[in-house]
Protein backbone atom coordinates (compact mmCIF):
# COMPACT_ATOMS: atom_id res chain seq x y z
CA UNK A 1 0.00 0.00 0.00
CA UNK A 2 1.42 3.37 -1.05
CA UNK A 3 1.40 6.24 1.39
CA UNK A 4 0.61 9.74 0.18
CA UNK A 5 1.04 13.08 1.85
CA UNK A 6 -1.28 15.96 1.08
CA UNK A 7 -0.01 19.48 1.62
CA UNK A 8 -2.68 22.11 2.32
CA UNK A 9 -2.14 25.78 1.62
CA UNK A 10 -3.35 28.39 4.08
CA UNK A 11 -7.03 29.26 3.62
CA UNK A 12 -6.16 32.80 2.58
CA UNK A 13 -3.88 31.71 -0.26
CA UNK A 14 -4.65 30.25 -3.63
CA UNK A 15 -7.14 27.55 -2.55
CA UNK A 16 -10.06 29.98 -2.73
CA UNK A 17 -8.85 31.55 -5.98
CA UNK A 18 -7.91 28.38 -7.82
CA UNK A 19 -10.75 26.13 -6.77
CA UNK A 20 -13.00 27.90 -9.27
CA UNK A 21 -14.52 30.52 -6.98
CA UNK A 22 -13.58 33.52 -9.10
CA UNK A 23 -14.24 32.12 -12.55
CA UNK A 24 -17.96 31.39 -12.37
CA UNK A 25 -17.65 27.66 -11.74
CA UNK A 26 -19.49 27.63 -8.41
CA UNK A 27 -20.57 23.99 -8.69
CA UNK A 28 -17.05 22.81 -9.45
CA UNK A 29 -15.63 25.05 -6.73
CA UNK A 30 -18.09 23.70 -4.21
CA UNK A 31 -17.22 20.11 -5.12
CA UNK A 32 -13.49 20.83 -4.80
CA UNK A 33 -13.92 22.56 -1.44
CA UNK A 34 -15.91 19.61 -0.13
CA UNK A 35 -13.39 17.11 -1.48
CA UNK A 36 -10.58 19.08 0.18
CA UNK A 37 -12.47 19.01 3.48
CA UNK A 38 -12.83 15.22 3.28
CA UNK A 39 -9.15 14.82 2.37
CA UNK A 40 -8.15 17.05 5.30
CA UNK A 41 -10.24 14.90 7.65
CA UNK A 42 -8.59 11.73 6.33
CA UNK A 43 -5.48 12.19 4.14
CA UNK A 44 -5.55 8.44 3.34
CA UNK A 45 -9.11 8.51 1.99
CA UNK A 46 -9.61 6.61 -1.26
CA UNK A 47 -11.10 7.92 -4.46
CA UNK A 48 -13.90 5.36 -4.07
CA UNK A 49 -14.70 6.64 -0.59
CA UNK A 50 -14.67 10.26 -1.80
CA UNK A 51 -16.99 9.25 -4.61
CA UNK A 52 -19.38 7.52 -2.24
CA UNK A 53 -19.41 10.31 0.33
CA UNK A 54 -19.90 13.07 -2.25
CA UNK A 55 -22.34 11.12 -4.41
CA UNK A 56 -20.31 11.67 -7.58
CA UNK A 57 -18.57 9.25 -9.91
CA UNK A 58 -15.03 8.06 -9.31
CA UNK A 59 -13.97 9.63 -12.60
CA UNK A 60 -15.46 12.96 -11.48
CA UNK A 61 -13.47 12.72 -8.23
CA UNK A 62 -10.33 12.01 -10.27
CA UNK A 63 -11.03 15.03 -12.50
CA UNK A 64 -11.26 17.32 -9.48
CA UNK A 65 -8.19 15.81 -7.82
CA UNK A 66 -6.16 16.30 -11.00
CA UNK A 67 -7.39 19.89 -11.23
CA UNK A 68 -6.44 20.54 -7.59
CA UNK A 69 -3.00 19.04 -8.24
CA UNK A 70 -2.43 21.09 -11.40
CA UNK A 71 -3.42 24.26 -9.52
CA UNK A 72 -0.90 23.45 -6.77
CA UNK A 73 -3.57 23.15 -4.08
CA UNK A 74 -2.73 19.54 -3.26
CA UNK A 75 0.39 17.53 -3.91
CA UNK A 76 0.84 13.80 -3.88
CA UNK A 77 4.02 12.56 -2.28
CA UNK A 78 4.81 8.88 -2.61
CA UNK A 79 4.66 6.24 -5.29
CA UNK A 80 2.27 6.92 -8.18
- Domains in the chain: boundaries: 14-70
Task: For residues 34 and 76, give the distance between their C-alpha atoms in angstroms, rounded to a whole number.
Answer: 18
Chain mean position to CA 46: 12
Q: What is the model's pLDDT at position 19?
A: 41
Q: What is the model's pLDDT at position 20?
A: 39
Q: What is the model's pLDDT at position 15?
A: 43
Q: Enumerate residues 6+ apart whose C-beta is below 8 A from 14.
A: 71, 72, 73
| Blockwise average pLDDT, block size 10, the chain, 80 residues | 58 42 62 93 92 94 93 82
DSSP reduced 3-state for 24: coil
DSSP reduced 3-state for 39: helix
Q: What is the model's pLDDT at position 24?
A: 44
Amino acid sequence: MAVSTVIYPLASTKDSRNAGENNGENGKQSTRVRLLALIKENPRITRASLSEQRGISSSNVQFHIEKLKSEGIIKRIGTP
